[in-house]
Structure 1
Amino acid sequence: MSADVLSTEAFFWRIERRDGVTLGFTSHDRDLAHDGLRLRAAPGIRPAALRLTADITGDDAQMDGALTHDAISAGDLEAGRFDGAGVMVGTIDWQTGTTKELYYGTIGETEAVVDGFAAQLRSVKAALDYDPVPRTSPGCRARFCAPGCNLSPSRFTHDLPVTAIEHQANAVTFSGIAPADFLFGELRWLEGAAVGLRHSIIGEDGGDLVLDGPIPAGVEPGTRALLREGCDRTIATCASRFGNVLNFRGEPFLPGNDLVAGYPSRS
């Protein structure tokens, strides 16, 4: 490749967050456009590492960038808005607009550094590390209301305003629900400063739902949230609460390791 071609190419990043926001960035010194998306030159992101392989081993990548109030802020990183976001990395010719896609993956760990951030990227090849062969387990292996479980998610999803918030306990209160039904479920904020952010419900305390992380700033009583009920994945709950034993994806009645490893005895 000639020096003239190299001098007209820049890196670009397309980031698709789980809350529906799509952002574009480029290493060029001015804004560009690709596929209807504005690629911002400021704050700009630079590739700290990018290793591509032709085999099934995972590709390594990392990106570094600056923090700004309107694109990537410390508050958004802390709130988890970029966790698990889809990332596409490529090169773009800033004269012709020709692009070449190099890398697909998701954002893994992010950390704040001096005047900016650093993010590790997980290649789509990471999916090859997943073992598709199911293992026996006493609990159900299916995700609640997902394929395998086959229950309708609309039956167990509720659009409700939060009535009380306890920030120190990471707990929220909703009226008209049975809190125990939402243990191991999830919450997604539908409006306000935290719109699109998700939490797992990890506990129930005196009628309050305990979340897996801090409640985002700007969430006030009256903020609407989408609540999904949860399941403890036991055969008893599947039978008594949901009547869904036919779809139970587990083996609750297999003998345990103690019985298999035990010695025979005379009766």
Structure 2
Amino acid sequence: MKGETIARAWGVTRQDGLVLGFTDHDRVLEFEGISFRPECGLSAKAVVQSSGLSVDNTEAVGVLSDGAITEVDLLAGRWDSADVRLWDVDWSNPSNRRLIFRGRLGEVSRSGGAFKAELRGLSEPLNRTQGRVYHPRCSAELGDRRCCFQTEKPGYSAEGVIHSHDEGQSFRLTGIAGHEARWFERGELIVQSGAAEGLRGVVKLDLPQSGGPREVELWSGLGLHPQPGDRVRLITGCDKRAETCRLKFLNFMNFRGFPHLPPEDWLIAPQVNR
């Protein structure tokens, strides 16, 4: 490829399947089934890549645009973990191109009418802790392939309507009854309708009120605030204790912890009478 005909092109695929293309060239480029548009103001800092297992490091910066990346979508988290591909491409012959980066969007920050997004390379997951942890509490996530519990079972989820909320974090819900206090703690709240549809948060506090709306508080507020009248779904949570697995979920045969593991005090106690 000749240096004077080289342009950068970005392909970004959101988790909901929306695909957008951007380029620093002054005309639209077409390849990979994507139209790469020049007017969206997306660019990148220098890509830092390595041959080892360290994480590729770069950032994408751009201008918020109603036709492409909107502030509402960023606040709603709809760009979180979007798949990103970056090419060097010969704009005079787009078939002559080279993929130089692939990864996902990480943390997104905003300032005025612009945004900045961290890009994480494909090697980033290799830095996560691997292997099994021996602990009295369960190491599985509720409903995953190791837990095997089906959260769709009657009684383990409920749908209601938002009566009111504070900053998208503390909600008062109507239409949810028959569940004891704290039943949904550590579970999820998922917005089912309205502008914030699809957003979800982890439940910190769940308290039914006698004759009034159920109060549900999230650990962190939703990026985009739902409105009163929007429908939400609550999914029960698990505190990963053996007793909870046995009594609440009737799923002790799939418990992935070690409830009879000696406590730390026992391990450091004197070796007398053992």
The verdict on a shared fold, with TM-score over 0.5 as the criterion, is: yes
> Which protein is richer in helix relative to its size?
1
Are the counterparts in 2 of residues 18 and 196 from structure 1 also a CA contact under 8 Å? no
Structure-2 change in CA distance of 1:41 and 1:205 (3 Å): farther
User: Which residue of the partner structure matches residue 29 of structure 1?
Assistant: 26
Counterpart CA distance in 2 for 1:149 and 1:104 is 32
Are the counterparts in 2 of residues 19 and 197 from structure 1 also a CA contact under 8 Å? no
Q: Identity rate of aligned residues, in percent?
A: 29
User: Which residue of the partner structure matches residue 241 of structure 1?
Assistant: 248
Select the residue among 122, 133, 148 that pairs with 1:124.
122
Counterpart CA distance in 2 for 1:216 and 1:164 is 19
Question: Comparing 11-20 with 229-238, which one deviates more in the overlay?
Answer: 11-20
User: Which residue of the partner structure matches residue 256 of structure 1?
Assistant: 263
Task: Note the C-alpha offset of 1:146.
Answer: 0.6
SS at match of 1:68: coil
Q: Give, as a single letter, the amino acid of the residue that structure 1 aligns with 2:261.
A: L
Spell out, residue by residue over 1:64-93, the C-alpha distance to the aligned partner (whole angstroms, 9 max, x if none): 111122322333323322222222222333
Task: Note the C-alpha offset of 1:168.
Answer: 4.2
Spell out, residue by residue over 1:163-217, the C-alpha distance to the aligned partner (whole angstroms, 9 max, x if none): 3121247223142342633211123333321123222222214432212333455
User: Which residue of the partner structure matches residue 50 of structure 1?
Assistant: 47
Task: Note the C-alpha offset of 1:53.
Answer: 1.6
Structure-2 change in CA distance of 1:53 and 1:39 (3 Å): same
Spell out, residue by residue over 1:28-56, the C-alpha distance to the aligned partner (whole angstroms, 9 max, x if none): 22333333333222222111131122222
Give 1:64-103 correspondences, 5 Å limit.
Answer: 64-98=61-95, 99-103=97-101
SS at match of 1:194: coil
Question: Comparing 45-54 with 188-197, which one deviates more in the overlay?
Answer: 188-197
Are the counterparts in 2 of residues 106 and 123 from structure 1 also a CA contact under 8 Å? yes
Counterpart CA distance in 2 for 1:222 and 1:77 is 23
Structure 2 spans left out of the alignment, 5+ residues = 209-213
| TM superposition score normalised by structure 1 | 0.86
Give 1:159-238 correspondences, 5 Å limit.
Answer: 160-168=159-167, 170-172=169-171, 173-177=173-177, 178=179, 180-206=182-208, 207-215=214-222, 217=224, 219-238=226-245
Are the counterparts in 1 of residues 201 and 221 from structure 2 also a CA contact under 8 Å? no
Counterpart CA distance in 1 for 2:99 and 2:13 is 15
Counterpart CA distance in 2 for 1:19 and 1:195 is 12
Question: Comparing 71-80 with 132-141, which one deviates more in the overlay?
Answer: 71-80
Counterpart CA distance in 2 for 1:31 and 1:203 is 50
Give 1:101-140 correspondences, 5 Å limit.
Answer: 101-113=99-111, 115-140=113-138
Structure-2 change in CA distance of 1:158 and 1:11 (3 Å): farther
Are the counterparts in 1 of residues 77 and 223 from structure 2 also a CA contact under 8 Å? no
Are the counterparts in 1 of residues 162 and 231 from structure 2 also a CA contact under 8 Å? no
Question: Comparing 42-51 with 220-229, which one deviates more in the overlay?
Answer: 220-229
Residue-pair matches, total: 264
Counterpart CA distance in 1 for 2:227 and 2:3 is 51
Question: Comparing 239-248 with 168-177, which one deviates more in the overlay?
Answer: 168-177
Question: Comparing 50-59 with 198-207, which one deviates more in the overlay?
Answer: 198-207
Counterpart CA distance in 1 for 2:158 and 2:25 is 44
